[in-house]
Amino acid sequence: MHNNSDIAGTRAKESKITRFDIRRGHFSLWVGQNEPRKEFDFVSGTLKGITLRRKEAISGEMIFMDFLFEKGETRFKVSAIASSSVAAELVSKLANIREITSELRIDVWAKENFTNCTVRENGEALPFRTLPKTVRKQNGFNTVVDSTERDEAVLKMVDELNLRLGFVQANTSGRSCMG
């Protein structure tokens, strides 16, 4: 009988990072096909970095902002549409972290069809850093929301945070088309 370990083996399974989507005032976790999503009110961990991710959708390409966290040996990410108000609010509060190694707790909830969040560092709520307002513009018979100035300010804060965290984003090609 041969020892096959020199010609065959098994690949070590990569630990998949758990992704929580921010949806309708909850952290939503996809469980599986034909299973209801699990919903949570808060997550806690140490922020490791923020990245942008592109995804093809029926309506075109979408860009998501992924907030990468660790808690002990567990890695997870919180995902939101990059140009959404909840992503902007989250970044504007994370920008005020005093100690980058602090454990953070993020609570989300919905109020009047808007998702809001609170970020706590060592139990203390972090303030909101002021951002440029979105602008409503008339385009023919349609009113559109222009968030270009806010998105640029959010990206600047993301860059500052990633620099403080020592996080290098592998692919920044999604940065120029958030809105």
Q: Is 137 helix (H, G, I), strand (E, B) or coil?
A: strand
Residue 6 CA to residue 157 CA, distance in Å, equals 50
The answer to whether the beta carbons of residues 18 and 29 sit under 8 Å apart is yes
The answer to whether the beta carbons of residues 22 and 86 sit under 8 Å apart is yes
Give the confidence band of 158 by pLDDT, cuts at 50, 70, 90. Answer: very high
Q: What's the sign of the alpha-carbon dihedral 73, 125, 20, 131? A: negative
More confident residue, 171 or 11: 11
pLDDT tens per residue across span 50-88: 999 999 888 889 999 999 999 999 999 999 999 999 999
Residue 105 CA to residue 123 CA, distance in Å, equals 8
The answer to whether the beta carbons of residues 46 and 71 sit under 8 Å apart is yes
pLDDT tens per residue across span 82-138: 999 999 999 999 999 999 999 999 999 998 888 999 999 999 999 999 999 988 888
Q: Is 176 helix (H, G, I), strand (E, B) or coil?
A: helix
- Domain residues of the chain, as ranges? 19-171
pLDDT over threshold 50, residue 139: yes
Spatial CA neighbour of 67 closest among 176, 160, 174, 162? 162
Spatial CA neighbour of 122 closest among 173, 31, 46? 46
For the whole model, what pTM was predicted?
0.83
The pLDDT of residue 2: 57
pLDDT over threshold 90, residue 140: no
**φ and ψ of 155, to 5 deg:** -65, -35
